[in-house]
Structures are given as C-alpha cells and as structure tokens.
C-alpha cells in the first residue's frame, strides 16, 4: 500500500517521540512492503515562533493531501503564563480538529499486566480493564460562542442533532465490534445539551438491538471509572467531558505516556498520543515514546492493516516485559533507557520478527 503521511512533531517532547514513531513506521513498512512517504509540517508554538500561526495554511494543505497525520504534541509554558497572548499553541490543535472535521476522538484505555502496579488504583480493580472512550471533538464548549470581559464571561455548550447522531453512530459501530455495551455519558439532569444527547441516543438505540445501551451522568461515570473500570466497554460523550474523563482514564493504565488516540471524521485522520508536550522534559531523552508508537499501530489498523498493528503491539509488550522502559515506568534498579533507546529496541524487534 502507498501511504502518504503528514508528520507534525510540534513542541516540547513532540519532535523526540515523533522521531521514534516515524522509525517504527519505517520498520513496519519495510517489513510488509508498504511504500511510505512523509511530509513534515509546522504546528503549535514552533509554528507561532516561525510564521505567527499555530496551524498555518501550508500545514493544513499538507494534512489535506496526506492519507494520515502523525501528530505529536503542542504547548509551551511561555504562552500558558501570559494571559494577554493573542495566539496560543493549543489553538493550532483545535484549528486542525475543526478544519479536518475530526469529530470522533477514539481513546482506548487498556492495562498492561506488567504495569498494573503503576496504577494508583488497586491491582484487583484495574486488572483486565479495557474500554474505549469516544469523545466528540469538534463541538460543545470548545467551539461554541464565547464572551469575556472583566465582569462576565461565558462559553456556550451547543450541539446539533446531526453532530450527536454522527458521533453516536461511530460509538455504536465500535460497540458492535466489541462487547456490545455502550455507555452514553452526559449531564442530562442539568444541561439542555445533554438532554438532547440522551433523546437522540434513545431514538437510535433500537437500531442496534444487540447493544446494551446505558446512560450515566458524568459525575457518576467519573466515580465508576475508578471504582469499577471493567464495567465499561465503549463510552461516548461530549467534547469537554471526554477531555476530563480520558485524563482520568490514563490513571487506570498507569502512565499518560502509554495512551494513543485516533481522531477521525470528514477528512484526513490524525493519530496522536493523548499526552501533552511536557516542556520540562524537552531534549532530556526521557519521554516515553510508546503512546506515539501505539498511535502508529492505530494508524495501520485504521487502514485495515491488522497484522502491522498487531506486530507493533507485540513489540511494545515485549519491550515492557524486557524492562526496556523509560524512567517513569521502569522497575526499581532497572536499567536506564531513554526515548531513543526504547524506540530503537522496538525497531530492532520488528526487524527481527
Ligand atoms: C487533549 C488536550 C487538548 C484538549 C488541549 C491541549 C487543547 O488536553 O487533546 O485532550 O483539551 O482537547
Ligand atoms: Mn486533555
């Protein structure tokens, strides 16, 4: 298969993990005879510094012309601490999501048996937890009408029926391929937008008679996720709730550095880790490349290249079992491996497989 990939390394640890993602992609393509080419593009703080725009038109064009985007991370503290900044790196990410029509963000939450002890939750609670959060990504408060002066400010949480229908359809399709259990997470006891979500979900549920649909308020879902994470199979929720719940989800796995995601919708799909740019770690060769590498697995799987994805997952598991791990998940007394060494080990494993 021919694969044209747009690579957006971004800020902080982004370029370092991006390099390892690309190396793994190359190794897999070589092994399976795929013809891959890359176009690099600017985004985030790096793009603001160079061309004054966190998601420049040229980057948009490169993404539109690619089969998939391999995205790393954006964000820089120099913007976080300046409330007067007119442009922010995160706006680049939001612009990308909106302009590529990426309304469905797929965030799997899984556990790795050898890392169970890294979760702050009890072993017997998290062992075997395996669910997918489907986060709506181009609507809600993130993109609704906003206002701010010194006395008053608001964000609008607006959703239309077609926006809700299309994300629920994605969620039902995932549920059908998995354990056929969908949890619709909302705040229908308070929010009008949530009541419409629930109404639309109730209308759609009969089209998927094999799927058990349940409805849960977001506060309750946040509790259930850490009390009984194995309850969930597929959960679907609006943009803001999904943002919050997926950070919580990373505690089940044990490290933010392990969670990949896929964003799909109208145009080119984007594959990215759920973590941020961790600017403090930039250049230190300590960032975990696994979330990025697992995003590459999701990329192959998106194109139905299942064996390719499976080989990456196998290599990642083998690296963890061999204690080839970045410091945040390394065992006590374990050898020191950096971003580069972990990536290289996985590349070698794939080559030898
Ligand atoms: C995420 C991030 C982004 C979000 C930020 C960086 C804008 O937290 O992808 O979850 O809030 O969506
Ligand atoms: Mn987030």
Model confidence pLDDT, tens digit, residues 46-65: 999 999 999 999 999 999 99
Question: Which atom of ligand 1 approaches the CA of 243 most closely?
Answer: 10
Rounded (10°) CA dihedral 316, 322, 326, 327? 150
The CATH code that applies to domain 1-100+268-353 is: 3.40.718.10
pTM listed for this prediction: 0.94
Catalytic pick from 11, 243, 337, 349? 243
Q: Is the CB of 136 under 6 A from ligand 1?
A: no
- Alpha-carbon separation of residue 233 from 60, 127, 279 (angstroms): 34, 14, 33
Task: Give the residue, out of 135, 276, 291, 292, with the most ligand 1 atoms within 8 A of its beta carbon, to mutate for a pocket test.
Answer: 276
Residue 292: which of 2, 8, 1 has the closest Cα? 8
Comparing 1-100+268-353 with 107-261, is the CATH topology the same? Answer: yes
For residue 40, the cross-strand partners are 7
Helix (H) or strand (E) holding 14: helix 14-32
Rounded percentage of the chain residues whose pLDDT exceeds 90: 88
pLDDT in tens, 101-153: 999 999 999 998 888 888 889 989 999 999 999 999 999 999 999 999 999 99
Q: Determine the Cα–Cα distance for residues 266 and 155; give it in Å rounded to an integer.
A: 25
What average pLDDT does range 178-184 have in this prediction? 98
Cβ-contact 210, 176 below 8 angstroms: yes
Query: Is residue 186 predicted with pLDDT exceeding 80?
Result: yes
Residues 6+ apart with CB under 8 A from 293: 20, 21, 24, 260, 312, 316, 343, 346
Residues 6+ apart with CB under 8 A from 238: 135, 136, 139, 140, 157, 159, 186, 193, 194, 197
Catalytic annotation present for 113: no
Q: Which pLDDT does position 158 carry in this prediction?
A: 97
Confidence band of 262 (pLDDT split at 50, 70, 90) = very high
Residue ranges per structural domain of the chain? 1-100+268-353, 107-261
pLDDT in tens, 231-259: 999 999 999 999 999 989 988 988 888 99
Please state which architecture CATH assigns to domain 107-261. 3-Layer(aba) Sandwich (3.40)
Instruction: Please give the residue that has the higher pLDDT: either 29 or 256.
Output: 29
């Amino acid at each position: 298969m021919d694969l044209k990939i747009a690579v957006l390394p971004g800020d902080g640890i982004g370029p370092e993990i991006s390099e390892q993602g690309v190396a793994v992609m190359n190794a897999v393509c070589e092994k399976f005879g795929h013809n891959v080419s890359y176009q690099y593009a600017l985004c985030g703080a790096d793009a603001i510094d160079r061309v004054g725009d966190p998601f420049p038109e040229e980057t948009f064009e490169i993404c539109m012309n690619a089969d998939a985007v391999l995205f790393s991370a954006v964000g820089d503290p120099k913007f976080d601490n300046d409330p007067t900044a007119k442009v922010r790196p995160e706006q680049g990410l939001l612009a990308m999501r909106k302009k590529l029509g990426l309304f469905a963000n797929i965030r799997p939450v899984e556990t790795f048996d050898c890392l169970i002890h890294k979760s702050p939750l009890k072993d017997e609670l998290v062992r075997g937890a395996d669910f997918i959060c489907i986060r709506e990504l181009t609507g809600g408060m993130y993109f609704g009408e906003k206002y701010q002066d010194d006395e008053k400010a608001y964000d609008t949480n607006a959703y239309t029926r077609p926006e809700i229908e299309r994300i629920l359809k994605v969620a039902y399709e995932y549920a059908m391929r998995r354990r056929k259990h969908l949890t619709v997470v909302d705040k229908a006891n308070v929010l009008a937008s949530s009541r419409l979500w629930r109404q639309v979900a109730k209308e759609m549920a009969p089209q998927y008679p094999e799927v058990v649909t349940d409805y849960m308020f977001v506060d309750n879902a946040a509790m259930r996720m850490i009390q009984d994470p194995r309850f969930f199979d597929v959960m679907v929720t609006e943009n803001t709730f999904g943002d919050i719940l997926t950070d919580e989800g990373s505690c089940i796995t044990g490290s933010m550095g392990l969670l990949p995601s896929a964003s799909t919708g109208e145009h080119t799909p984007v594959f990215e880790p759920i973590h941020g740019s961790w600017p403090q770690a930039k250049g230190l060769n300590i960032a975990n490349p696994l979330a990025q590498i697992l995003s590459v697995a999701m990329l192959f799987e998106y194109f139905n290249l299942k064996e390719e994805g499976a080989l990456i997952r196998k290599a990642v598991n083998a690296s963890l079992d061999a204690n080839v791990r970045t410091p945040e998940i390394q065992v006590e007394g374990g050898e020191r491996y950096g971003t580069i060494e972990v990536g290289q080990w996985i590349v070698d494993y794939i080559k030898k497989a």
